[in-house]
Every structure is written in C-alpha cells, then in structure tokens.
Chains A and B, each alone.
Chain A
Amino acid sequence: MDTEIIEGLKKAIKEYDTEKAANLAKRAVEEKLDPLKVLNAMTVAIREVGDAFGRGDLWLPDLVGAADALQAAMPIIEEEIKRTGAKRESLGTVVAGTVFGDIHSIGKTMVCTLLTAEGFKVHDLGVNIKAEQFVEAIDKYNADILAMSALMTMTAPEQKKVIERLKKEGLRDKVKIMVGGGAITEDFAREIGADGYDPTAPGAVKLARKLIGK
C-alpha cells in the first residue's frame, strides 16, 4: 500500500497529473505515511524530470507540468510535516518570485523547479511581488536565499528596492540574494548589491549551492 501510494505519486509528477498528485498526497496523509519519505519521493521524481530537461530529452512544458503536479501535492505534505513535527532535511530554504510590475513567470518557475529537485525547500511567491511581500516571506520562512526575477528593463530596478528594504528592516545579512531574468546582467547584479547572478536555470542551482556553501 505504502509503496503503491509513493510510486503513484512519483508517477503522477512524471506524468504531469496535477489532480492525481494532490489526491495521492491526501491519501498518503490519511494512511499516515511518513511525510518525510513522501517528500523525498517527490523530490526524486522532480529531479528525474529536471535531469531529463537538462539532457534535452524533455522540454519546458514538461518541466512546468511536473512542477505544477509537485505544487499540487507539496502543501498537503508540508502541512503533515508541520503537524507531526518531523524534521525536514533540506539544503536550505529559498524564497523566490518575480518582482512587482513584472508578470513573467517562466524563468522563475524553471529555477524554482530545479532548486526543489536539487533538495532546497522553495517558497515560490509567484509574480508581481512587492518588496514588502518578499521581506515578509523571508522573515516568516526564515529563508537562507532570496531569488528574484525580472524580465523587463523597466522592472529590473525593483530588485534594488527589495534589497534596500531588506537593509532597512535589518534582514539583509540574514539572507543570500540571487537575481536573474532577461533584463539582468552581471554588472547590474553587482551594482544593486546582490550576492550572485546566473543567466541560466541550471546555473542558478549551482549558484544557490555556492552561496550557502554546500
């Protein structure tokens, strides 16, 4: 029974089946499966998808489809972890989002998916996120990394605003900041005081590991 649920959940993620992933996550909770084991299986599944994307066997719609399925199951399992007080192992906690005024989600979603696959705990805030929302989330989740995306030249300066706000709230030194997106360059990242920049999603994962020394 346990393996049936766990294998089913992995399959649902790999087959991009959002509904099935959510249902199996609920069943896992009902059947009192170890939530850490379930989480681990989900991470394995998303890693397989991420690796296939990296090899060029899978494409963006597949990656995002798998991410959607993962997202459907994740809150259910996280809730269970919290309830049982189990201790979740992760490389670190990431808060991610696309900055205010910008509604482009693709790059950010790619990075979040691959970070999850790598073993980070990722809180994807979505798009059009205001500085105060980022700050609030960093505080709430006790994040190790903030990952911000901006596709448009007009919205890139918004990343600077977030960093300034973090300084004002005294949170800047608690968190490593990585930035990316079409409008961002290495120089810009340095200029606004980010800790790192990478133009590609797989590169962003390596960067995240480097930033927290793992």
Chain B
Amino acid sequence: MAKGFMRRFPPLKILTDEQVEAIHRGTLDVLQQTGVLVYNERALNVFKKAGCDVNFETKRVKFPPGLVEECLRKCPSSFRVKARNPKDDLLIGQDNVLFFNFPGTDTVDLDTWEPRSPTKKEHIDLIRVLDALPNVHFLNAYPYFGFSGGVPEVMKEIEGVALRIRNSSKVTIAIANNDIDMFTIRMAKAVGSEIFANPNTSSPLTCYTDQVNACFLAAEYDLPSMIWDGATSGGTAPASLAGAVVLSNAELMPYIVLLQLLKPGARIAVANLVLPQNMTNGAPAFGEIGVSLHNVAFNQVWREYGVPTVSSSCGPTSSKRIDFQLGYQKTMPTLLSALSGSSILQLYSSIYGEITAHPVQAILDDDIAGMIGRFLEGLEVSDESLAIDLINEVGPIPGHYLGKKHTRKWWKKEQFVPRAADRLTYPEWAKTGKKSCIDYARERMEEILSTHKVDPPLTQSQEEEIEKILKEAREYYRKKGMITDAEWESYKKIIEK
C-alpha cells in the first residue's frame, strides 16, 4: 500500500470551537434559506423524495438542516482506494497525509520561462516522472490539460486517462466535464483500479448537470468521490474569509447529500481550491496567504464533520519561474494545510496558476513533500533518544558525538536528506559548477526518464479493452457532433499511427 505520511501530533487550529459552530450554523442557514441551483432532473427528484424544498421550474433546492447533518454523519472518516497495483492503494483519512499533482495547461521553457503546448511525448514524460516519484501517491487528471497535435478537445482527457493508465500504476481521477467519465471510469475498471469520481461545484451555489451525473456514476460503480470547490473570495464568494468558508461549504453539501442518498456510506473527500481575487487584474490570487487561512479554517470545520479534506490550492502560485517566490508560495499553503489536518495535498508540478507545469518542478516538490512529511512524523522521545547516559559519557569539550554508535544509528532516522537540494559548502559548490536545485532536478528527471518502468505494464487483454473503450468514446462524441469533420480528419491520422 502507498504509505503516505502520518501526522503524529494534534493539528494546528486557528478557530475557537464557537467559531467552528458559527460557520456550521451559517452553512446550514445558507442551504435552507438561500438554497442551491441544481441543473439535473434526476437529482432534483432524489432531493425532492428526501424531503428537500425543490422548485422544478427555477431548479432551486433548499435543504433541511437535519438531512444535511444526517448525510454528513454517513460519510466515512477514513477509507481505502484500490489501485491497479496493491502497492499503490491509498488510505485516506486517519491523520495519513498524501500528495498528488496540480495540472497545467502548458509546459514551460526553462530558459525563457515562456509557456507552450506540450508534445505527446512531454505529456507522457510528466506522467512517468509522477509515477516514479515516491511521494506522489496518486495522479490528478491531465497532468497537462492537453497536448498539441490534432486530438479533438473533447477527447483530450479521455486519451489522457488511457495514457495515465498505461504509464502509471497509481490511482487517478475521472473529471466529469461533458460526461467523459462515462468512458474513463470503465477504463479504470478494465485494469482493476478504482478511480475518483470528481463532481465540481460552480460558484456561487450552482451545480451543473455533468457534475451531478458524476455522483450517479460514483454510486453505480461504487467509487470514491473527490468533490471540488473553487470559489474566488471577493469574486464568486464573499471577500471576508469566514464568508468564503460558509459559501464554499454550502456548495459542497448538495453533492454530499446526493451521494449519501444514492449510496449510504459513500467514500467522499472534499477539495478546496478557494483563492482570493487579485484586485488588480481580476485573476485568482494564486499563492497568497489568504489561500492558507482558508485552508486551515476549512480543515478545522471538516474535521468536525469527519470528512477527509484535500488542499488543492497548494500547487499554483503567481510566479512564472522556478524561483524564490515560487518556493515560498508553494511551501506556505502546503505546510499550513498539512499541519492543520489535510488528508491530501495537491502540490506537485505546477508553476504559475493553472497555466504551467513541469516535471522538473515535480521533482523539486518531492523534496518539499519529504521535508513536510518528516516534520509530520514529529519527535521520538524515549530513553534511547533522550540519550542522557550518552550526554554524561561525552561530557564537555573535547567530548564529541560524531564517532558514536548512537549517532550512526539515529542520524538517519532523524534527518531527511533532500534529493535535489544544493547541500554543498561554498568551496564544493564553486568547484562542481555552482549547481542549483534546478540543475539537480534536471539530472534526476533524465535519470527517471531513462530508467523508470511502470509496474506492472498493462496485459495484452487490458490493452485491448482500453483501446475498445477509446473507440467507443470517439464514435459517441463524433455522433454527438462534438468532433467536427475537420477535427476528425486530423485525429484519424494520429489514431492510425
């Protein structure tokens, strides 16, 4: 089983119990008083039957507090997710902390720092690097939003899931846009893996039909769900952080209610990508401290509910380069989320916002994950680690600890040694070409790409099954008119290759 890191001390809290209670009451009030728009007939019927106040004309659903609380209680506080290879199975919840990646539209040129579309090879390279890194516990959708060269828009992520399944044995996520999860969920099933269903909210207070359908698929296939909320505080959510927490929580609840109504005990994690609004240019304010304040408050409230949380805003920053700013903008939300009880941290590979990602960045992030993981494990306090007899034996100067057996045994347990960090002295550094962490990460990337093999590769029959589902999907979207004639022509050439 993929191990993750165990947090061995109580989580960081920034709210009092009364404040947590106030946010909970506020959330229930919004659900009952304001309600949520649900663009999905099937779901409206389910809600109606469960006692919600449903207006079929306006699509507005208002939830009785008792129903919401009952459904929250049905969520398991921890659960397993099965991977293709049992070594990659996941344990979510129970103070176990996992990491995965944050995708980007583009790759980035490491010299000019300008974004560009990745090739198919680069797309696969990123998947392979993520598969090889020990602290990437599962893979997000994409990891690039697409690759250049003729794959129609609607097929990009379906082809993407096939690439991930072929090049990685880790669990992945089935996004719901355009109902493509109808196909991708079957692909995962074909190789004996579970996949996360992924219903997304739309802020403020709106659920679109394909996202709601994801809940029905999750119930049908008995899959775990990761529900995503991405409100922007000051834009699609109140500018005050407490208000943003209330709103984003209210947006997540309809999916929780629906999932628990369809399948009581359904496995759910709630993901939080709430960002402040950059008030200069209207973009989300990636990497700023409001991200962390929201994450920590969010974690505290959801721990009360016993639902595992995912901190999705750890990955994206506002820097365009792999530089000092990127370092602190990724580290702060990741560390604060990990300390405050997130079960899953979405950290790896992203650079600027949702725009750029790079395998070199994923390798650098692996060191941050390792450091934070080491921190979460805390200190061992025992007679042996307290070492009082040793201190007495060594005594004052000229006593020294380096040659002691105790040191040889313990330093490796206590110290985390980063893989891609510059740890040299000035003279060593000057002598070896003044390398920085990016240079080391590039070297490691080359090494991974030339040696890493997916374990295990797909069997012949799994391969055939994947190809069969791809074919079905192509025909389905072609028929639906979502692949134009021109697109189909160039797409066919790729398929035939």
Contacts and interface: CB of A to CB of B under 8 A. Distances in A.
Interface of A: 16, 18, 59-62, 64-65, 67-68, 103, 105-106, 109, 126-127, 182, 199-200, 203
Interface in B384-408: 397-398, 400, 402-405, 407-408
Given A16-B408, A199-B428, A65 B403 contact: yes
Interface in B419-437: 425-428, 430-431
B385 to A, nearest CB: 16
B428 A67 contact: no
A126 B428 contact: no
B402 A200 contact: no
Nearest to A186: B427
B434 to A, nearest CB: 13
A127 B428 CA distance: 23
B324 interface: no
B408 A199 contact: no
Contacts of B427: 199-200
B408 A127 contact: no
A64 B402 contact: yes
A65 B400 CA distance: 11
A182 B411 CA distance: 23
A60 B408 CA distance: 9
Given A61-B407, A61-B408, A200-B427, A126 B402 contact: no
Nearest to B430: A199
A67 B403 contact: yes
B425 A105 contact: no
A65 B401 CA distance: 10
Nearest to B415: A59
Q: Tell me which of B402, B425, B428, B430 has the highest count of chain A C-beta atoms within 10 A of its own C-beta.
A: B402
Given A182-B425, A199-B425, A105 B400 contact: yes
B398 A127 contact: yes
B403 A68 contact: yes
B408 A62 contact: yes
18 contacts: A18-B403, A59-B411, A59-B412, A61-B402, A61-B407, A61-B408, A64-B402, A65-B404, A65-B408, A105-B400, A106-B402, A109-B402, A127-B398, A182-B425, A199-B425, A199-B427, A200-B427, A200-B428
B428 to A, nearest CB: 6
Contacts of B426: 199
Nearest to B397: A103
Nearest to B400: A105
B246 to A, nearest CB: 52
A16 B403 contact: yes
B398 A65 contact: no
Given A64-B403, A65-B405, A67-B403, 5 more contacts: A16-B403, A16-B405, A61-B411, A105-B400, A106-B402
Contacts of A61: 402-404, 407-408, 411
List of 8 A-B pairs having minimum Cβ-Cβ separation, nearest first: A199-B427, A68-B403, A64-B403, A64-B402, A61-B408, A61-B407, A65-B403, A200-B428
Interface in B276-312: none
Overall SS of chain A's interface? helix
Nearest to B431: A199
Nearest to A103: B397
A200 B411 CA distance: 22
Contact of B431 (A59, A62, A106, A200): A200
A178 B430 CA distance: 20
A67 B403 CA distance: 8
A106 B430 CA distance: 21
A200 B431 CA distance: 10
Nearest to A185: B427
A126 B398 contact: yes
Q: Tell me which of B403, B405, B407, B431 has the highest count of chain A C-beta atoms within 10 A of its own C-beta.
A: B403
Nearest to B417: A59
A60 B425 contact: no
A105 B402 CA distance: 10
Contacts of B398: 103, 105, 126-127
Interface string B124-146: 00000000000000000000000
Contacts of A109: 402
A88 B427 CA distance: 35
Contacts of A106: 402
B435 to A, nearest CB: 15
Contacts of A126: 398
Contacts of A62: 408
A64 B407 CA distance: 11
Nearest to B432: A200
Contacts of A60: 402
Contacts of A65: 403-405, 408
A61 B411 CA distance: 9
Nearest to B411: A61
A62 B427 CA distance: 23
Contacts of B403: 16, 18, 61, 64-65, 67-68
B416 to A, nearest CB: 14
Contacts of A127: 398
A196 to B, nearest CB: 14
Nearest to B427: A199
Contacts of A105: 398, 400
Nearest to B428: A200
Nearest to B408: A61
A56 to B, nearest CB: 11
Contacts of A203: 431
A65 B411 CA distance: 13
A60 B405 CA distance: 12
A203 B431 CA distance: 11
A40 B398 CA distance: 30
A49 B405 CA distance: 16
A30 B411 CA distance: 38
A49 B281 CA distance: 60
Nearest to A199: B427
